[in-house]
Structure 1
C-alpha cells in the first residue's frame, strides 16, 4: 500500500505545487553556494533548470513522495476518505529537507564516500 500512497501523493495538485516551490527555494540556496562546494557546476545547473515551468511534473513529485521522511508522513496520515490528508501531513520542513537531500542525486553529482582516496 505504501507505493500506492506515494503515487497518489505525487499526483496531488497541491503537493506538486509545493514540490515546485520547494525546488525553487532550494535553488536559491544553491545559487549562492561558493564555487568550492563539491559538485558546484552541476548543482548550479539544476538550480538554473528548476525555473522551467514543468518542474512540478509527476517525475519530481514522485521522487520527493518516495523520500523516506515524506513517505512516512504521508503513510501515517493516509485516509481514503480525506484526499488531502497525506499532503497536509507532509510539513514544509519535511518537504524542503527531502528536496535538499535529493539535490545531488537529481543533478547527477555523486560525491566520493568519506575516506575514499581514489586508489
Structure 2
C-alpha cells in the first residue's frame, strides 16, 4: 500500500472504517482487516517522522480508532482487542514524538 502525505487521511479512514464498522455493528473481530489498518498506521509513522507539522485530522483519526476499539473492548473483554487498541495508540504516540516504528530501540545503557 502506497501511503504518502496526500492520501494518508483517505487511506486511514478507509481501512479504519473497514475494520471498525463490523466490530461496532456485530462484534466481529477481523484480524486481516486490522493488519491492513495497522500497516497504514505504521506507514504514517514513517511518512511523518521528520515533519514538524502533522495534520490534526490524521492524529484525531488515529486517536478515535484506538478509543473506539477500546470502548468495544469494554463489552467484549478481549485481550486481542486490547492489544489492537494499544498498537494503534502506539503509532499515535510515535507520530507525536517524531519517531517511527523502524527506529532502533536501545537494548541497554550506552558504554563510552
TM-score, structure 1 as length reference = 0.29
Q: Report 1 or 2 for greater relative contact order, CA contacts < 8 Å, sequence distance ≥ 6.
A: 1
